A and B are shown apart, each in its own frame.
Chain A
Amino acid sequence: MQDHVEDNGANMISLPSYLFLSFIMFIAGLVVMVARKNIIAILLGVELILNSAALNFAAYTRFINQNLEGNIMSLFIIVIAAAEAAVGLAIVIRFFQLKESVHIDDATQLQA
């Protein structure tokens, strides 16, 4: 793995670029969750954040740590994110059937 990095060292995308990209994704995810009112969009924001973390793990493994731990983490993040999205969407569908809306402002019944 080390050799491969050095071979292409001249025209490789460097670690800071990856970190910058993942940071942008993280911020975008946070903004989506705060600003958007559609529940589906909020779930997409969650996915953005999870993927930014997965990208970070993969990038750090590739450029600095060279052990498999980061790649395994990325794989697990992808798998578990899918499971979480499945349950999240199921709940949203149920919510939609009851309220006929996927707008977060309609979920206000429980505020004291």
Chain B
Amino acid sequence: MGLNYLASLSHFVPELLACVTMFGLILIEATYKEEHKERGLFFFAAYIGFASVLTFLCLNLKHEAVAIFTNSAVIDPFSTLLKIVMVLGTMGATYLVSQSKDIEGNLRPEFTIMATGVLVGGMLLSSANNMLLLYIGIETLSILSYVLASLKKSDDRSSEAGLKYSLYGGISAGIMLFGMSHIFGVLGTINFTEIGVALQELTTVQVAILLPSFLLFLAGLGYKIACVPFHMWSPDVYEGSPIPVTTFFSVVPKVAGLAALIRITTVFFSHEGAMNMGWVGILSVIAALTMTVGNISAIGQRSVKRMLAYSSISHAGVMLLGILVISEVGIRSVVFYAITYLFMNLVAFYIVSFVNDKYGNDHFERFNGLIYRYPVMSIMMAITMFSLAGLPPFSGFVAKFHIFNAIVIKKYYVLAIIAGLNSVISMYYYMKIIRLMVLKPAESEEQISGFSLLNQGIIVSLTVPVLFLGIFWEKIMLVATNAKIFLE
């Protein structure tokens, strides 16, 4: 049974702290004058806030899973671990925003405030245990994301990105709600646990209504993690948004959407039956399509940022593989994948962002001969690209290996072959950057001001986990294994 409200609040401290951080940041921002550029105190307060959220989440990691607020939310180690990933992603994007020239002046604090809001939405989404909280989480996440995408007000690309995001977002939320309303009508409850129980005994008529309803439901969630065929918005939005925003989008909303999808799949479809087969079948097709379309579209891109957007679509496809096996091995692999993906993405976007600040665009040619000017940065970029492509001994390989392991255990050989082929395709465009960095002569000898000593140090320290998790992965895998999902 659920706890009463006051007892529930004691399990809800990280979310409350994130809300307090957001309001505190709004107050601090209000005290600054318009021409005050640095805003050191603001960012200091933001880091303190994120660090306190992180501390409480780490403390929660050892606690038993518990259902709070009359079973509408679940605080379990699984959601807590993914929340840690989201907070780290927000911190990374916040640091990038304080350094990047893509967003300037008072847009920087605005980004931080809204990113904290998105973080709260993501946390709600990953703990949601009924449809209402799921919907509120998705909308908190989305509405603020629309604003983030169109953050550069006088840039028409940015406002076009926000426009596309909000239109697609509104449509998918509506379609998802329409599906949910019929699920509610047939099963009579909005609570996930009760739906999971009710799904075990269904009449044929109920199955006939529920199958299309779940398809509509999946469309809404699929949109959030940008899987094919609901991915059309993603490259445009990623390209139009300022780079720190893109960095943020590629981690936080994606991880939150995956968390919700994992919870739904595990709670609803753990038992054999017509619904289970239908759901797994649809997810397999979507996963195969997502990997393939993402990778093939990434090949022809000129802009590195757009290439990374497509590559993040294909990574979502790989993570879907870990979800559709519906086993503890699968969940553990996806959680591990999310952790490694966070670090790889942050490094790649940091470097692209600083290069973009210097030249005003992020085309592939801007990386020509980077190794002769910034050898350390080029090596970090190369490590990240190898890791994204899934080569040993980097963390991307370990993460992919575990996902493959999970699907081979369940004997989905066709999917395993498709995933393997996709890894080969993705090698092409990841290696392209390395080839340009090493083999081409440098375009110019100018300094890239973003690569200051401090920033280089931070990029190196973010690359350490990429390398480290590829060799000493047992510890983190143990944490991921212990991150069990709440089932009753």
* Residue pair B131, A73 in contact (C-beta under 8 Å): yes
- A83 contacts the other chain (CB 8 A): yes
C-beta contact mask, A72-112 vs B, less than 8 Å → 1, else 0?
11001100100110011001101100110000000101111
* Residue pair B189, A69 in contact (C-beta under 8 Å): yes
Cα A64 to Cα B206 with chains together (Å): 14
* Residue pair B235, A112 in contact (C-beta under 8 Å): yes
Cα A84 to Cα B135 with chains together (Å): 13
* Residue pair A80, B166 in contact (C-beta under 8 Å): no
* Residue pair B139, A56 in contact (C-beta under 8 Å): no
Cα A104 to Cα B188 with chains together (Å): 40
Give min CB distance, A18 to chain B, whole Å: 10
- B154 contacts the other chain (CB 8 A): yes
* Residue pair B171, A84 in contact (C-beta under 8 Å): no
A-side contacts of B300, CB under 8 Å: 112
* Residue pair B184, A107 in contact (C-beta under 8 Å): no
* Residue pair B154, A98 in contact (C-beta under 8 Å): yes
Cα A22 to Cα B170 with chains together (Å): 17
Cα A107 to Cα B437 with chains together (Å): 34
Give min CB distance, B324 to chain A, whole Å: 27
C-beta contact mask, B228-241 vs A, less than 8 Å → 1, else 0?
00000001100110
* Residue pair B143, A98 in contact (C-beta under 8 Å): no
A-side contacts of B156, CB under 8 Å: 95, 98-99, 109
* Residue pair B132, A73 in contact (C-beta under 8 Å): yes
* Residue pair A94, B167 in contact (C-beta under 8 Å): no
Q: Which residue of B lies closest to A60 (CB)?
A: B185
* Residue pair B163, A60 in contact (C-beta under 8 Å): no
* Residue pair B139, A84 in contact (C-beta under 8 Å): yes
* Interface residues in A30-70 (C-beta closer than 8 Å to B): 33, 39, 42-43, 45-46, 49-50, 52-54, 56-57, 59-60, 64-65, 67, 69-70
B-side contacts of A50, CB under 8 Å: 170, 173-174, 177
* Residue pair B177, A77 in contact (C-beta under 8 Å): yes
- B306 contacts the other chain (CB 8 A): yes
B-side contacts of A107, CB under 8 Å: 160, 163-164
* Interface residues in B240-270 (C-beta closer than 8 Å to A): 240
Count of interface residues, chain B, beta-carbon cutoff 8 Å: 46
Q: B132 is contacted by which of A22, A39, A72 (Cβ under 8 Å)?
A: A72
A-side contacts of B170, CB under 8 Å: 43, 46, 50, 84, 88
* Residue pair B174, A112 in contact (C-beta under 8 Å): no
Task: List the count of A-B residue pairs having beta carbons below 8 Å apart.
Answer: 134
A-side contacts of B162, CB under 8 Å: 91, 94
- B62 contacts the other chain (CB 8 A): no
* Residue pair B154, A88 in contact (C-beta under 8 Å): no
A-side contacts of B164, CB under 8 Å: 107, 110
Question: Interface size for chain A: under 10, 10 to 19, 20 to 34, or 35 or more residues?
Answer: 35 or more
Q: Which residue of B lies closest to A83 (CB)?
A: B143
One of B145-153, B403-411, B447-455, B474-482 at the interface? B145-153
- B190 contacts the other chain (CB 8 A): yes
Give min CB distance, A109 to chain B, whole Å: 6
B-side contacts of A56, CB under 8 Å: 178, 181-182, 185
Q: Which residue of A lies closest to B150 (CB)?
A: A91
A-side contacts of B185, CB under 8 Å: 56, 59-60, 64-65
* Residue pair A91, B306 in contact (C-beta under 8 Å): no
State whether A98 and B190 are in contact (beta carbons under 8 Å apart), knowing that A73-B184, A76-B135, A88-B146 are contacts in the complex.
no
Cα A64 to Cα B135 with chains together (Å): 22
* Residue pair B135, A80 in contact (C-beta under 8 Å): yes
| Listed residue (B139, B150, B174, B235) with the most chain A CB atoms within 10 angstroms of its CB | B174
* Interface residues in B115-156 (C-beta closer than 8 Å to A): 131-132, 135-136, 139, 142-143, 146-147, 150, 153-154, 156
* Residue pair B178, A49 in contact (C-beta under 8 Å): yes
Can you show 29 pairs from A to B with CB atoms below 8 A apart? Answer: A26-B178, A33-B171, A43-B170, A46-B170, A46-B171, A49-B171, A49-B174, A49-B177, A53-B180, A54-B181, A56-B181, A65-B185, A65-B189, A69-B132, A69-B184, A73-B131, A73-B132, A84-B143, A84-B166, A84-B169, A84-B173, A87-B147, A92-B163, A94-B153, A98-B154, A107-B160, A107-B164, A110-B235, A112-B300
Q: Which residues of A contact B (CB under 8 A)?
A: 22, 26, 29, 33, 39, 42-43, 45-46, 49-50, 52-54, 56-57, 59-60, 64-65, 67, 69-70, 72-73, 76-77, 80, 83-84, 87-88, 91-92, 94-95, 98-99, 107, 109-112
**Sample of 18 further A-B pairs with CB below 8 A, known A84-B143, A94-B159:** A26-B178, A33-B171, A53-B177, A56-B181, A57-B181, A60-B184, A65-B185, A67-B189, A69-B189, A84-B169, A88-B146, A92-B163, A94-B153, A107-B164, A109-B160, A110-B160, A110-B161, A110-B164
Q: Which residues of B contact A (CB under 8 A)?
A: 131-132, 135-136, 139, 142-143, 146-147, 150, 153-154, 156-157, 159-164, 166-167, 169-171, 173-175, 177-178, 180-182, 184-185, 188-190, 235-236, 239-240, 300-302, 306
